[in-house]
Amino acid sequence: MALILYEAVILFLGMATAFGPVPRITWEPREVHLVHFQEPEVFNYSTLLLNEDKDVLYVGAREVIFALNSLDISEKKHEVFWKVTEQQKTRCAEKGKSKQTECLNYVRVLQQQNDSLLYVCGTNAFQPVCDHLKVTSFELTGRNEDGKGRCPFDPAQSYTSVMVDGDLYSGTSYNFLGSEPIISRNSPQNPLRTEYAIPWLNEPHFVFSDVVRADPDNANEDDDKVYFFFTEVSVEYEFLSKLMIPRIARVCKGDQGGHRTLQKKWTSYLKARLLCSIPDKNLFFNIVNDIFILKTPDSKDSVIYGIFTPQLNNVGLSAVCAYNISTVEDVFAKGKYMQSTTVEQSHTKWLRYNGEIPRPRPGACINKEARAENFKTTLNLPDKTLQFAKDHPLMDDSVTPIGDRPRLIKRDVKYTQIVVDQVRALNGTLYDVMFISTDRGAVHKAISYKNGMHIIEETQLFPNFDPIQTLLLSSKKGQQYLYAGSNVGVVQSPVAFCDKHRTCVDCVLARDPYCAWNPHLSLCVDIFKESETQQDWIQNIGGNASSCTDDVRERSLQHTFKHGSTAELKCSQKSNLAQVVWKFKDDVLKVESPKYRLLEKALLIFNLSDGDSGVYQCLSEEKVKNQKFSQVLIKHVLELKKVHPHTPSPAQPTTRTEGNGEELKASVVTTQGSAVYTSTTPVVTIATSRIVTNPIFPNIMSTVAGIERSELVPEVPEKTLFLKSNDNSLLMSLFLFFFVLFLCLVAYNCYKGYLPDQCLKFRSAMSLGKKKPKADFSDCEQSVKETLVEPGSLMTQSGEHPKPAHDTGYETEADYGNGHVQHDEEHSQSYKEVKDKPFDVKCELKFADSDAEGD
Ligand SMILES: *[C@@H]1O[C@H](CO)[C@@H](O)[C@H](O)[C@H]1NC(C)=O
Ligand SMILES: *[C@@H]1O[C@H](CO)[C@@H](O)[C@H](O)[C@H]1NC(C)=O
Ligand SMILES: *[C@@H]1O[C@H](CO)[C@@H](O)[C@H](O)[C@H]1NC(C)=O
Ligand SMILES: *[C@@H]1O[C@H](CO)[C@@H](O)[C@H](O)[C@H]1NC(C)=O
Ligand SMILES: *[C@@H]1O[C@H](CO)[C@@H](O)[C@H](O)[C@H]1NC(C)=O
Ligand SMILES: *[C@@H]1O[C@H](CO)[C@@H](O)[C@H](O)[C@H]1NC(C)=O
């Protein structure tokens, strides 16, 4: 197993393909209606809590807690400052922490205790405290409970918490150094915690926790379960360095600890590996960044969604894996345990335990069966079971994702948070809509279907690309919002932007379960905002837009221009999956001709003449599952102005607009005579607009637009393309370069007298009266040949390292690699050495000697 994981890392380095789907639409912050909340001098808006009954969003930031109107977060209802005292700050600074950043109070826990109180905890200058916050008066009660084990000391450390029936469950660290991890329940009656032992928790990084309720009428009388998710250092795999493993751990709500063994400790703590990998590529995603549990009325259908990245993420891969809650429960309830055995004194190995398992099953919740055997609570459990549970917290079976592979793999993006909404489309099918945030302030909204994944849109929530650290989704359909928190503020975004789709085809091709085309109003509407939906509304999540009848609104612009001038016909479309096609007099325009230049949002026509007048149509063509849908975006009618050679006044170009063309203005660049001016002016304008348009995915858009990509389409690496497209000219010039270098080297060595035979004759001829060196070259000859051959061989044999003839001291054995592929830098370095010192030192000294002898 360890070997497989090792391979994964190696293979991973070679795998730089698989882009993942391109978001169909990219919304810039100014294009959509977003509501921002940020207060001056307040940072780290790290904790969000929503109360949907009261329409309040609570925000925990650094040293302050806010209550905002959740329907419009720019409206602040309350705020309460929660600062560290000067004395505490000084004491914290004395321990070597930064007074300006670390020795402050970072709110880390924000939970609803009951209707009138919030339970809040903060790091409080490395002295975590918890308090109650009165909801109505918005005052802290000043209880200042010790927050140890509920809130981290260090604001940089990971934490997670969930409130279940008035008890706070949290995963954090228990000490100042952050070296003692803990999963605990803070309950006045029944506080419980994890054993402080490596097999239980090994340097965990907590990401999420939540409760999954048992069905109230389940025949087994099963208990509610609290799940924790974290990445920790593996104990079971041996690896060169620390191997990280994503974990799911669970405890039972009814756990009361053991009577003698595991007193005040979890008796139901079990953990398993969360597997997220691409089996056929041997690629493992070993870091879990966030989890969301999509709960359904029937808890059996609940799905756990997770965001993962590989441990060595040098190409920026992210994956989404989904897990069936039944699979999880089966692993804990029926799976094999792992057991550690000591080999060679101090070394321990974790292997599957195949021996007898005590009854009741260790780590199980108290259910009907246990009760029937008179184990009413965990306090009654026999020591044998408890001791086994204490020694075997780790399951041998892994939790495998639905479909045994990720739902989504995306390159060049780091996903940070995920929330999922279940949406019933018009035809009744349920879709899980994922909102996935990035470390660049954007959110991807995606749905998965049978054979892949579709990213409906990408919305830039934070204009300055601040990483999104918390995501929260409200659930009231029709008034549903997504809230995102970062270090600099909070953003509220609608879950859909249906009204931005202007045509039926656009509305349907969005494949957004929230949106449908209302043919009566000719509007793309949010189906959950309408009081009732009608049969003839058009929606097709498969992207079949054939039901759309032609759109009546045709925009048409009229232009009059002069001979020899340049026209810029504007046309823009939002879809990154569509291609723009221009038609002139109903024929597809050959934009490759030098007469035209196709830009991202316009067509340029140079040197206008009589033949160019007519109707230009701009169409967008989008292919979905082998069906192509095209629609006319705009029509431009060009008309030629009669030439009056004697009128020198530079008349303005006239542009008449017909129809609904308020956004699509056309401009015509008119010039007289100067050909140079004609061709340069428009290019400048466009160059700037090109930079502005798509700051996030500029390359993906220009190269991939128009091609529907499902996950894992293998692609030719960019470098290869580059070589091909340059017609081998790069190879040619490289070859020439090295050939010239080779000649220089020969000439230089010949001049220096390092080369025997003809060369030396040539040299002696050149140096005339100088005496022929009598040195014995046999020693050096071989090394000379080898050295000279090397520059060329470096290019051809990429795997082999050049060998100097003697050990010169500047190459070590390790550099030859134990079957490792050499890196380019090493090549160039060794090559440089070859160039600088064409021969080894011994040899050169000999020459010097022989020369001296000769003289
Ligand atoms: C708090 O926000 C500031 C400002 O963006 C950032 O530099 C800092 O790293 C944040 N601290 C934590 C613990 O998140
Ligand atoms: C909320 O909890 C506090 C303390 O646990 C208790 O004193 C108070 O009565 C509770 N309020 C309500 C409305 O249940
Ligand atoms: C999860 O697995 C159970 C049992 O195999 C099955 O009934 C259920 O439909 C699955 N749920 C999902 C969402 O795949
Ligand atoms: C709804 O539409 C989707 C996509 O076209 C299709 O796969 C699904 O079977 C439809 N559901 C029903 C209930 O017709
Ligand atoms: C798309 O829909 C049309 C009419 O609704 C139907 O005739 C056609 O077969 C569909 N195409 C695909 C590929 O499902
Ligand atoms: C412009 O077109 C005319 C004929 O249409 C041609 O004679 C002239 O050379 C062209 N000028 C340029 C700069 O291409």
Quote the CA–CA distance of 118 and 69 in Å, as a whole number. Answer: 17
For CA atoms 141, 143, 149, 153, give the dihedral sign: positive
Quote the CA–CA distance of 268 and 290 in Å, as a whole number. Answer: 24
Quote the CA–CA distance of 554 and 602 in Å, as a whole number. Answer: 18
Chosen domain end from 361, 378, 412: 412
Q: Is the CB of 429 under 6 A from ligand 4?
A: yes
Give 222's strand partners. Answer: none
The ligand 5 atom at the shortest distance from the C-alpha of residue 544 is 1
- Please indicate, yes or no, if residue 733 is contained in any of the structural domains: no
Whether the Cβ atoms of residue 808 and residue 837 lie closer than 8 Å to each other: yes
Same domain, yes or no, for 704 and 818?
Answer: no
Residue to substitute in 114, 115, 131, 187 for testing ligand 2 pocket (most ligand atoms within 8 angstroms of CB): 114
Quote the CA–CA distance of 71 and 66 in Å, as a whole number. Answer: 15
Is the preceding omega at residue 360 within 30 degrees of 0, hence cis?
yes
Q: Which pLDDT score is estimated for 148?
A: 92
Residue that is written with structure tokens 């590989």 in the block: 310
Same domain, yes or no, for 206 and 262?
Answer: yes
**Smallest CA separation from ligand 4 atom 14, residue:** 427
- Ligand 6 centre to CA of 606 (Å) is 9
Q: Is the CB of 38 under 6 A from ligand 1?
A: no
Quote the CA–CA distance of 324 and 306 in Å, as a whole number. Answer: 12
- Ligand 6 centre to CA of 563 (Å) is 10
**Smallest CA separation from ligand 2 atom 9, residue:** 116
- Please indicate, yes or no, if residue 687 is contained in any of the structural domains: yes
Same domain, yes or no, for 218 and 305?
Answer: yes
The ligand 4 atom at the shortest distance from the C-alpha of residue 428 is 13
Same domain, yes or no, for 584 and 692?
Answer: yes
Q: Which ligand minimizes its atom distance to the CA of 464?
A: 1
For 623, the 3-state DSSP assignment is strand
Q: Which ligand minimizes its atom distance to the CA of 135?
A: 2
**Smallest CA separation from ligand 2 atom 10, residue:** 114
Quote the CA–CA distance of 291 and 830 in Å, as a whole number. Answer: 47
Q: Is the CB of 117 under 6 A from ligand 2?
A: yes
Can you give the residue range of the structural domain that contains 306? 194-412
- Please indicate, yes or no, if residue 768 is contained in any of the structural domains: yes
- Residues sharing a CB contact under 8 Å with residue 138, sequence separation 6 or more, in sequence order: 67, 78, 79, 80
Quote the CA–CA distance of 400 and 335 in Å, as a whole number. Answer: 13
Residue to substitute in 53, 116, 135 for testing ligand 2 pocket (most ligand atoms within 8 angstroms of CB): 116
The ligand 3 atom at the shortest distance from the C-alpha of residue 303 is 13
**Smallest CA separation from ligand 3 atom 9, residue:** 301
Chosen domain end from 382, 412, 442: 412
The ligand 3 atom at the shortest distance from the C-alpha of residue 302 is 13
Same domain, yes or no, for 571 and 694?
Answer: yes
CB neighbour class for 96 (10 Å; exposed up to 12, middle 13-18, buried from 19): exposed
SS (H, E, C) 564-598: CCEEEEECCCCCCCEEEEEEECCEECCCCCCCEEE
Quote the CA–CA distance of 812 and 79 in Å, as a whole number. Answer: 64
- Residues sharing a CB contact under 8 Å with residue 536, sequence separation 6 or more, in sequence order: 519
Same domain, yes or no, for 803 and 684?
Answer: no
For CA atoms 806, 811, 816, 821, give the dihedral sign: negative
For residue 303, what is the domain's CATH number?
Answer: 2.130.10.10
Q: Is the CB of 134 under 6 A from ligand 2?
A: no
CA angle, residues 360, 181, 232, in degrees to nearest 5: 80
| HSE (side-chain half, CA atoms, 13 Å) at 587 | 5
Residue to substitute in 466, 487, 490 for testing ligand 1 pocket (most ligand atoms within 8 angstroms of CB): 487
Residue to substitute in 449, 535, 544, 629 for testing ligand 5 pocket (most ligand atoms within 8 angstroms of CB): 544
Tell me the residue type at 141.
T
Q: Which ligand minimizes its atom distance to the CA of 606?
A: 6
For residue 562, what is the domain's CATH number?
Answer: 2.60.40.10
Q: Is the CB of 303 under 6 A from ligand 3?
A: yes
In terms of phi and psi (left: phi > 0; alpha: psi -120 to 50; beta: otherwise), the region of 699 is: alpha
Same domain, yes or no, for 622 and 669?
Answer: yes
- Residues sharing a CB contact under 8 Å with residue 556, sequence separation 6 or more, in sequence order: 634, 635, 636, 637, 657, 658, 659, 661
- Ligand 6 centre to CA of 654 (Å) is 23
Same domain, yes or no, for 680 and 783?
Answer: no
The ligand 4 atom at the shortest distance from the C-alpha of residue 449 is 7
Number of domains present in the structure of the chain: 3
Q: Which ligand minimizes its atom distance to the CA of 430?
A: 4
Chosen domain end from 725, 745, 769: 725
Q: Which pLDDT score is estimated for 713?
A: 32
Helix or strand run (H / E) with residue 90: helix 86-94
- Ligand 6 centre to CA of 11 (Å) is 57
Q: Which ligand minimizes its atom distance to the CA of 47?
A: 1
Same domain, yes or no, for 713 and 613?
Answer: yes
- Please indicate, yes or no, if residue 456 is contained in any of the structural domains: no
Q: Is the CB of 549 under 6 A from ligand 2?
A: no
- Ligand 6 centre to CA of 98 (Å) is 71
**Smallest CA separation from ligand 5 atom 11, residue:** 544
- Please indicate, yes or no, if residue 403 is contained in any of the structural domains: yes
Q: Which ligand minimizes its atom distance to the CA of 594?
A: 6
Quote the CA–CA distance of 459 and 482 in Å, as a whole number. Answer: 11
Helix or strand run (H / E) with residue 729: helix 729-752
Same domain, yes or no, for 243 and 389?
Answer: yes
- Which positions of the chain have pLDDT values less than 50? 1-17, 647-727, 753, 756, 759-855
CA 700 vs. chain centroid, Å, equals 15
Quote the CA–CA distance of 590 and 597 in Å, as a whole number. Answer: 10
- Residues sharing a CB contact under 8 Å with residue 467, sequence separation 6 or more, in sequence order: 416, 438, 439, 440, 441, 486, 487
Q: Is the CB of 606 under 6 A from ligand 1?
A: no
Tell me the residue type at 272.
A
Same domain, yes or no, for 277 and 398?
Answer: yes
Helices (H), 127-221: none
Cα 130 to Cα 66, 105, 209, 702, distances in angstroms: 17, 11, 19, 52
- Please indicate, yes or no, if residue 181 is contained in any of the structural domains: no
Same domain, yes or no, for 623 and 705?
Answer: yes
Give 772's strand partners. Answer: none
- Please indicate, yes or no, if residue 658 is contained in any of the structural domains: yes
The DSSP bridge pattern shows strands 627-640 and 556-561 to be parallel
- Ligand 3 centre to CA of 327 (Å) is 8
- Please indicate, yes or no, if residue 842 is contained in any of the structural domains: no
